Structure 1
Amino acid sequence: MHLCAAGLLAQGYGVVRLNLRGVGPSAAYSRGPYHAGLTQDLRDVLSGLAVRFPKRPVAMIGFSLGGHMVLRLAGEAGQKGKPDTLAGVMSVCAPVDLHATQSRIAAPRNRIYHAALMHWMKRDARSWVACGTPLADKLETLRTVRDFDDALVAPAHGFEGAEDYYRRASMQTVASEICIPTLVLHSNDDPWIPLQSYHATQWPKRPDVTVMIARGGGHVAFMAAMPNALGMWTWLASIWQYWAEN
């Protein structure tokens, strides 16, 4: 995200980097967790930007789960209407099928990453889960992303459970309704986001909707079947951070 922002700034574009609800600095101003279909947060940000920068068009770029959210927003534009300033969206390695993605992340090959991801998710959750409550005690017992979604995310947003959340929030349910310029990028060796999900998605047949599958690149150039130097460095750094925080 830093590299993308720097490249756009160098070309003269204005850039706003957005944290998901409850993550990082946003935790102090948020209530409850984000979820993959929480596009109202994106609409609120667009409304706020429109007040500060009237009539200035905005292109939203999302990475990983953020990519899913901007694609969901693009699909909902056909049903709920397009935010006035939204000129287009771009996703990078978005988990277009939420159920398939959580299953892949939980696979034995991804054991270390899964453990690190759960550590970070629990850490962020502690900022809004009240200490000493039954939910706080339950948080420490969760072992998988699905457990986390089932126990915390789904009930916080009115879903009946993890499976109901994955089914109703997945951008696949609105993919065919995308009606704004959209660029979808993914790699054929992403270890966490199944490539088959992209083939199974019903993308609209529009000239301004483009799906591109790169040959190599891993998950946002983070980790691939044959990691490059940058991917290996970030992978080792994340493992070091995980163990240091533990």
Structure 2
Amino acid sequence: MPLVETTYVPPLIFRNYHLSTVYSALIRKVPLEQDRERIDLNDGDFLDLDWSFSEERSDKVLVVIHGLEGSAKRPYVTGLAKYFNSNGWDVAAMNLRGCSGELNRHFRSYHAGATGDLQEVVEHILQKGKYKTMAFNGFSLGGNLMLKYLGEKREISQQIKAAVMVSVPCDLHGSLKQLQKKENYLYAKRFLSKLRDHLMMRAENFPDKLSKEEIEACDSLLDIDNLYTSRAHDFEDALDYYNRNSSRQFLKNIKIPTLIINAKNDGFLSPDCYPVEIARKSEHLFLETPAYGGHVGFLQNKKVTYNEERALEFLNSRT
């Protein structure tokens, strides 16, 4: 498919990458009533789904996954869910393992390619027998996970009709190197701080596998992925983790209509996170690259964001 022509024109203030990114992540508020459902996973662990519902009974469900160290309570998730609920969709917002406010049971938690957990969520929701149509919407790390899922050698349920992914680091190592740049110092520092805090709690539960001294010695996200992510999830090291889980290599295999919205001024994304040639050769992959939007920003002079409106438009036209 050719590149999708974008119509996103933000207010002048939100043409700034930092303002768009920070406002969306830390200032925007979208209250939403959600019902929590705990799923016991096949390996004895658990994860939590936060549900919100259309006023009218719906046979359509949107499955949403948040980004790195996020949750289903983040405003980019609740904003999307509220907008879809008001337009006839139920929404199941997935909290990745350890991200729902309670540490998960196992030493392992989540990572950018943990598609087995998504498979269990899909099966759980479809077993309810309520939904004829399912669609995906992933943000950042969650978008990478969902793209990998759709492009892996697996049988995709016929109920899964289409997908939209926002601000996706299709090349994980490239995105890591972007975050290490001077202009992203504060973002990298914030992620590092949150991940270290998370691992400190995990070290209390698993002192034989992780020490506080090891965590305190981590000075970068690469260190975290070498110390924990790779070790806990059976990768050789951080680079092996990035190489095996970057979704870019799976995009050519996607067989349902899938839209990626990556802003050109997203400072978290490397050049390989804009799969222009793959999209041009694909029958199913659509790529939209607005000039502005930052990382999961896309703010407008209205309550809903551009990516929320585009997601509904794209999914409704293909379901």
Alignment of 1:52-91 (within 5 A): 52-76=128-152, 79-91=153-165
Report deviation, 1:176.
1.0
What corresponds to 1:149 in structure 2? 225
What corresponds to 1:130 in structure 2? 204
Q: Are the equivalent residues in 2 in contact too, given 1:104–1:193 (CA < 8 A)?
A: yes
Q: Which blocks of at least 5 consecutive residues in structure 1 are unaligned?
A: 231-246
In structure 1, the residue corresponding to 2:195 is in which secondary structure?
A: helix
Q: Are the equivalent residues in 2 in contact too, given 1:59–1:87 (CA < 8 A)?
A: yes
Q: Which blocks of at least 5 consecutive residues in structure 2 are unaligned?
A: 1-76, 304-319
Q: Are the equivalent residues in 2 in contact too, given 1:22–1:32 (CA < 8 A)?
A: no
Question: What is the alpha-carbon distance in structure 1 between the residues aligned to residue 139 and residue 201 of structure 2?
Answer: 23
What corresponds to 1:25 in structure 2? 101
1:7 counterpart = 2:80? no
Report deviation, 1:62.
0.4
- Alpha carbon RMSD of aligned pairs, Å? 2.4
Structure 2 residue aligned with 1:96, among 147, 162, 170? 170
In structure 2, the residue corresponding to 1:16 is in which secondary structure?
A: strand
TM-score (normalizing by structure 2): 0.64
Residues 182-206 of structure 1: CA distance to partner in whole angstroms, max 9, x if unpaired? 1111100001112443147734734
Question: What is the alpha-carbon distance in structure 1 between the residues aligned to residue 154 and residue 202 of structure 2?
Answer: 30
Residues 83-141 of structure 1: CA distance to partner in whole angstroms, max 9, x if unpaired? 34322221100100001001111111111111111111122233433354462221121
Question: What is the alpha-carbon distance in structure 2 between the residues aligned to residue 30 and residue 214 of structure 1?
Answer: 40
Which shows bigger deviation, 107-116 or 80-89? 80-89
Q: Give the letter aligned to residue 236 of structure 2.
A: E
Q: Are the equivalent residues in 1 in contact too, given 2:161–2:257 (CA < 8 A)?
A: yes
Question: What is the alpha-carbon distance in structure 1 between the residues aligned to residue 163 and residue 270 of structure 2?
Answer: 21
Question: What is the alpha-carbon distance in structure 1 between the residues aligned to residue 194 and residue 292 of structure 2?
Answer: 27
In structure 2, the residue corresponding to 1:61 is in which secondary structure?
A: strand
Structure number with the bigger relative contact order (C-alpha 8 A, sep ≥ 6) is 2
Q: Are the equivalent residues in 2 in contact too, given 1:175–1:204 (CA < 8 A)?
A: no
Give 4+ residue runs of structure 1 displaced > 6 Å after superposition.
Answer: none
**Seq. identity, %:** 27
Q: Give the letter aligned to residue 70 of structure 1.
A: M
Task: Kindly indicate which of the two structures has a greater share of residues assigned to helix.
Answer: 1
Q: Give the letter aligned to residue 88 of structure 1.
A: A
1:117 counterpart = 2:191? yes
Report deviation, 1:150.
0.8
Task: Kindly indicate which of the two structures has a greater share of residues assigned to strand.
Answer: 2
1:183 counterpart = 2:259? yes
Question: What is the alpha-carbon distance in structure 1 between the residues aligned to residue 251 and residue 84 of structure 2?
Answer: 27
In structure 2, the residue corresponding to 1:80 is in which secondary structure?
A: coil
What corresponds to 2:235 in structure 1? 159
Q: Are the equivalent residues in 1 in contact too, given 2:178–2:270 (CA < 8 A)?
A: yes
What corresponds to 2:284 in structure 1? 208
TM-score (normalizing by structure 1): 0.82
Distance 1:63 1:201, change over 3 A: farther
Distance 1:160 1:200, change over 3 A: farther
Q: Are the equivalent residues in 2 in contact too, given 1:22–1:31 (CA < 8 A)?
A: no
